[in-house]
Amino acid sequence: MGRLTGKYTLITGGTSGIGLATAQAFLAEGAHVAVTGRNPETRAEAQRWLGDNAWVIDADAGVIGAQQQLADTLASRWPRLDAVFINAGDVTHGTLESWNEQAWDRLMGTNLKGPFFLIQALLPLLNNPSSVILCGSVSAHIGLPTSSAYAASKAGLLSLARTLSIELLPRGIRVNGLSPGPVATPALGKLGLDDDAQRALQSEIAKLVPLGRLGTPDELAKAALYLASDESTYTVGTELLVDGGTAIGR
């Protein structure tokens, strides 16, 4: 039997990168898997990668009304949720001068406000016991230039993991944070850089990591699998840093 056999699992932002790798890991361990994404091209590609055993849902993590709609969609087909990995995120970085209110609100809506109201909407579906994993970031721990808004959103999300871990524990819901360090994902390709510039950027990012390299989506998927499975039943309200030592190296 797999480590998630028979469990109903949701991964937001599950159509690429860490989310897609986690969906593949969950499927391999016997879970029923639903993933969300807002880009029709990446949703179609994810469906090809994951096959008919996965449920790919159109949902925007930053639209508050969409969170209840997602919960209703899941409830129409599934009896419960055993594990949720809230992974969708806006990774926009910029200098302090470059931010405006609209961009700030969009980032906070996706990274903090949306997850809060998604958990609220999912409460009737969450099983006793179940696991909720919030994807933070090592950026919440280090003073990285141009990361101010992003890091603030992830610090708020990790605080939410701690407080909800106590509030929801009587319902049998364990809440934990999972914080990646620099990881080689398609998000790096959204910065508008040519191939040479992107390789140079990855080389500079790798210098922040004591291990000397970027992480892989599969390495984060293994950590998410641990937090979703019964192996972590004594793990509550903590943050699992999978960052190659970045937090201690700064």
The parent domain of residue 151 ranges over 8-185+217-242
Is 202 domain-assigned? no
Average pLDDT along the chain: 94
What are the residue numbers of the active site? 150
Q: What is the pLDDT of residues 147-174, one digit of tens each?
A: 999 999 999 999 999 999 999 999 999 9
Q: How far apart are CA 10 and CA 15, in angstroms?
A: 12
What pTM does this model have?
0.95
Is 192 domain-assigned? no
Is 142 domain-assigned? yes
Is 212 domain-assigned? no
Is 120 domain-assigned? yes
Is 26 domain-assigned? yes
Is 208 domain-assigned? no
Q: What is the pLDDT of residues 31-90, one digit of tens each?
A: 999 999 999 999 999 999 999 999 999 999 999 999 999 999 999 999 999 999 999 999
CATH number at residue 157: 3.40.50.720
Q: How far apart are CA 106 and CA 23, in angstroms?
A: 26
Give how many domains the chain has, as a whole number. 1
CA neighbor of 63 nearest in space, from 132, 118, 4: 118
Is 194 domain-assigned? no
Q: How far apart are CA 44 and CA 79, in angstroms?
A: 26
CA neighbor of 33 nearest in space, from 75, 68, 78, 72: 78
